[in-house]
Amino acid sequence: MLDIADELHRWIGQGRDFAVATVVAVGGSAPRQPGAALAVDASGTAIGSVSGGCVEGAVYELCRQALEDGETVLERFGYSDEDAFAVGLTCGGVIDILVTPVRADTPSRPVLAAALAAAASGRAAAVARITTGPAELLGRALLVRPSGEYEGEYGDEYEDGYEGGLGGHPELDRTVAGEARALLDAGRTATVEIGEDGSRCGSPLTVLVESSVPPPRMIVFGAIDFASALVRIGKFLGYHVTVCDARPVFATAARFPDADEIVVEWPHRYLETTGVDARTVLCVLTHDAKFDVPLLRLALRLPVAYVGAMGSRRTHEDRNARLREVGVTDLELARLRSPIGLDLGARTPEETALSIAAEIVANRRGGSGVSLTGAHTPIHHDGARKPAGRIGSVA
């Protein structure tokens, strides 16, 4: 849902009623990941996608029905399901889709509105919705912020006499908020399973946590022609791209119009002071020892997602020797992707940028980088994503 937050936030502001269908679980070769959403307003306008086209028509009708009756439903589409096959899900995967009405009388509308507002403004936030459990709880939502503060309630809207005893047990809210905050810190969308004892409603629950975080950073060191092409593809992949070079004649807005930031500073000095995290990628294109060695000595000790350095194999061997001389360990050197990029036979700046971007994506998604033709590996990899842990009992 948060992946279409800009438009949904606008719909909320206009007072529109709508229903949103969200992918909550996938299996096999499903085309979209959890969190992907399609929304339909009362006039029939649709935005977003849950399957890349396979089951959009059927999901559209589910949204129209949810708007009419106000009921939240969980539907599964799979290759072996005759109805799903009839509407076109032939990729061999399975997708579970939660369809939630967001009408003026929907109890969770204020929480969802706040979550959409945060995501649309670029502020980090997570929304946690119950996807399996008692029918009365489907779609109930919490908004969780990076500080751990949260808005909304699962249980307190129910009377203490509700079967299962959910009412009056804020422990469930706090437990889910804690799990959601952990996923938000990692910038991940995932499901969390809550055991029967921990759910406080007499049966297990599944909660989808959607995280919306600012774009990850790509920092390109070295204002060369290859960097210009890499900036463009970095923006295409959704990164906030910074170009850094110590030479003001090269680090200019005219040469890098697509960059979000251009910094004139010695690379290692800039890296010492700027913020990075586990999603940040660092691309070192300077291939000049006076810049590379102090920069990589620092970069290889930071908790970032990717560190790559351009240069020939001879440059790579010389650089490694220089890095060892300044105390970089073999374990730290093992993190360095050098020569940077995958073997595509690239020659032009654009081809080289594609090679680098392909390696970054493969590293992020756990891909092998080999051709899919003739391979016996999955098309979609989840190797870089760890499944959410199961929550035990809540005292």
CATH number at residue 317: 3.40.50.720
Residue 261 lies in a domain: yes
296 in the same domain as 200: no
| 320 occurs within a structural domain | yes
d(CA 115, CA 237): 24
Distance CA(127)–CA(112), nearest Å, equals: 8
Q: Domain residues for 200? A: 2-152+170-212
Note if the pTM is more than 0.75: no
User: E-assigned strands of 28-122?
Assistant: 37-41, 46-48, 73-78, 94-102
Residues 118 and 79: their CA atoms lie apart, in Å, by 36
Same domain membership, residue 266 and residue 142: no
Does some domain include residue 293? Answer: yes
Same domain for 227 and 194: no
Residue 378: inside a domain: no
In a domain, 132, yes or no: yes
Whether residues 192 and 104 fall in one domain: yes
Structural domain tally of the chain?
Answer: 2
b/e for 45-77, b at 16 or more Cβ within 10 A? ebbbbbbeebbbebbbebbeebbeeeebbbbeb
Residues 179, 267, single domain; the answer is no
Q: In what order do the strands lie in the sheet with 125-132?
A: 150-151, 141-144, 125-132, 205-212, 190-194
> CA-CA distance, 33 to 30, in Å (whole number)?
7
pLDDT in tens, the chain (395 residues): 888 999 999 999 999 999 999 998 887 666 678 888 999 999 999 999 887 666 888 899 999 999 999 999 999 887 555 554 455 455 557 888 999 999 998 888 999 999 999 999 988 999 999 888 777 777 788 999 998 899 887 754 444 433 444 444 577 888 889 999 999 988 889 888 887 655 555 678 889 999 998 889 999 999 998 999 999 999 999 999 999 999 999 999 999 999 999 999 999 999 999 999 889 999 999 988 899 999 999 999 999 999 999 999 999 999 999 999 999 999 999 999 999 999 999 999 999 999 999 999 999 888 888 887 876 666 666 544 333 333 332 32
For residue 160, the tally of other CB atoms under 10 A from its CB is 11
Cα 123–124–127 angle (5° rounding)?
A: 115
- Residue 230 phi/psi, 5° resolution? -70, -35
Q: Are the C-beta atoms of 285 and 312 separated by less than 8 Å?
A: no
217 with 240: CB under 8 angstroms? Answer: yes
Residue 211 β-bridge partners: 126
**Are 328 and 184 found together in one domain?**
no
Q: Which of 178, 212, 246 is the last residue of a domain?
A: 212
Same domain (yes/no): 178, 208: yes
Q: How far apart are CA 178 and CA 190, in angstroms?
A: 14
Which strands, in side-by-side order, build the sheet including 18-27?
46-48, 37-41, 18-27, 94-102, 73-78
Asked if residue 383 belongs to a domain, the reply is no
Looking at the structure, tell me whether residues 239 and 286 fall in a common domain: yes
Q: Which two tokens stand for residue 151?
A: 């808005």
Whether 180 and 244 share a structural domain:
no
Do 207 and 337 have their domain in common?
no
Q: Are residues 129 and 245 in the same domain?
A: no
Q: Say whether both 231 and 102 belong to one domain.
A: no
- Asked, for residue 273, whether it belongs to a domain, the answer is yes
Give the CA radius of gyration of the chain.
Answer: 24
